[in-house]
Amino acid sequence: MNLKIVALAGGVGGAKLAHGLAKILSPENLTIIVNTGDDFEHHGLYISPDLDTVCYTLAGLANPVTGWGRVNESWNATENIAKLGGQTWFQLGDRDLATHLMRTSRLKKGDSLSAITHDFCHAWGIEHRIIPMTDDYMPTIVDTVEMGELPFQEYFVHQRCKPTVKGFRFEGVESVRPAEGVEKAINDADAVVICPSNPWVSIAPILAATKLNSTREAGFTSKKNPIVALSPIIGGEAVKGPAAKMYRELGIEPSALAVAKGYEGFVDGFIFDKVDAVLEPEIQNLGMKTMIIDSYMKDINGRERVAKDVLKFIHTLL
């Protein structure tokens, strides 16, 4: 059976699994809904880092070292911005700049982020559907002990995730609506896959913006379309990024179990790494079916391997 899947993805970790799924599933069977809580304005340009990371990854254009930005990038603009006394803590490569320039000018003309993303995907040869979680602006704000509230990129890149996290807020969450096509994709899907992205600042904004969490509780999405999540925490640490540090600072021991607890009552199946196999009984006690795999996606083969495991697991839940 050809499964119809919706994947919820943040940046680098989410992009890797989305890429693996895209290698296996046909374009009509995969929709990727992407976090835009990291979006911000820099040098007057609208930057959507996770959307670009997912698109560049699927198009084969991503920088393989950083995971974000473009491969074979040059930095003439950044060097000249520095020469003119401008801020360069957030680096925009020359090729990447074209994306931000075009997106910003189209947004100013009144085009929606989802329509622009659709056109960019077409230009980059991406056939699978990639949709921002919302066309509205819902920036993630990180509340910190040392510096108070910080916009996400100020915390993440400028302060290098050093401030101690107290909490998170999604500005304007009360009034945002899911982007065009999001609800239909979720309702038409055989299953929703929560990629191994940061639960606090990648997945939580998507659930909040799409109202997937509450519609599920209200019974609008059929129980027949299971929700499956993958742990971004392996052996108590995040593969990349500050997720484990965030858990610690919020008073929670980072583990696959902690991730599963955050999804309790919402997720039907949970996939986690073999190094955490000992946690299986406790995760099952949360009412989730489990699958233990080698979840580390070192290269494209790893991405495809994990994607195949995810689909195999979903078949057992249908």
Residue 92 CB, nearest approach to ligand FO1 (Å):
6
Residue nearest to ligand FO1 (CB): 11
Q: Which is nearer to ligand FO1, 38 or 309 (CB)?
A: 38
Smaller CB separation from ligand FO1, 18 or 291? 18
Question: Shortest distance, CB of residue 290 to ligand FO1, whole angstroms?
Answer: 27
Residue 315: partners with Cβ closer than 8 Å, 6 or more residues away: 1, 3
| Closer to ligand FO1 by Cβ: residue 57 or 153 | 153
Tokens 């559907």 belong to residue: 129
Residue 131: its H or E element: strand 129-132
C-beta atoms surrounding 288 within 10 Å: 20
Nearer to ligand FO1, 5 or 9 (CB): 9
3-state secondary structure of 294: coil
CA dihedral defined by 297, 198, 93, 17, rounded to 10 degrees? Answer: 30
CB of 155 or CB of 313, closer to ligand FO1: 155
* Residue 16 CB, nearest approach to ligand FO1 (Å): 12
Distance separating alpha carbons of residues 309 and 293, to the nearest angstrom: 7
Q: Name the residue nearer to ligand FO1 (CB basis): 241 or 269.
A: 241
Q: How many CB atoms lie within 10 A of CB 243?
A: 26
How far CA 310 is from CA of 154, 160, 185, 257, in Å, comes to 34, 32, 19, 18
Plot region of 84 (φ>0 → left; ψ -120 to 50 → alpha; else → beta): alpha
**Dihedral sign for Cα atoms in the order 187, 188, 191, 196:** negative
Q: How far is the CB of 96 from ligand FO1 (least distance, A)?
A: 6
Q: How far is the CB of 171 from ligand FO1 (least distance, A)?
A: 16
CB of 251 to ligand FO1, least distance (A): 23
Binding site for ligand FO1 (CB under 6 A): 10-11, 38, 47, 49-50, 52-53, 68-69, 90-92, 96, 153, 156-157
* Nearest distance, CB of residue 51 and ligand FO1, angstroms: 8
Q: Which is nearer to ligand FO1, 61 or 212 (CB)?
A: 61
Give one DSSP letter per residue of 201-267, joined into a string. IIIHHHHHHHTHHHHHHTT-S-TTS-EEEE-SEETTEESSSSHHHHHHHTT---SHHHHHHHTTTT-
